[in-house]
Structure 1
């Protein structure tokens, strides 16, 4: 297991601590979950783009745009 030190604005760090507490997990566990989620989304996008390269490229990109919009709405509603 690796240790990673990151610099965050104080208000961001405080909000992340509050989010972790509201979920009943440690800040470390929250960051692990967020990192895993980000990597899974990235991997899915890469696979999807590769599959889309041989298919309806614009249709696939339109789907990705809709997924991005849905994700943004979800993040806004979580605030």
Structure 2
């Protein structure tokens, strides 16, 4: 496991702490979950672009459907 130090404006840090508390999480766990979500979205976009280049429309649409379903589950 790695340690990452980031600089945030004070108000942003306080809002993240409040969000984490409202979800019953530590700030660290919240940032970990948000990072995982961002990486999953990025991976999905990259896969979608690769399928689009090959012309595999059905696989690309399947990825979009899964992304929509994930957004619905996470409340985005």
Task: Please report the TM-score for the alignment, with normalisation by the length of structure 2.
Answer: 0.72
- Report the number of matched residues: 62
Q: RCO greater where, 1 or 2, for CA within 8 Å and sep 6 or more?
A: 2
Listed as ranges, the gaps of 5+ residues in structure 1 are 75-79
CA RMSD of aligned residues (A): 2.1
1:20-59 mapped onto 2 (5 Å cutoff) = 20-55=20-55
Listed as ranges, the gaps of 5+ residues in structure 2 are none
Moved over 3 A (4+): none
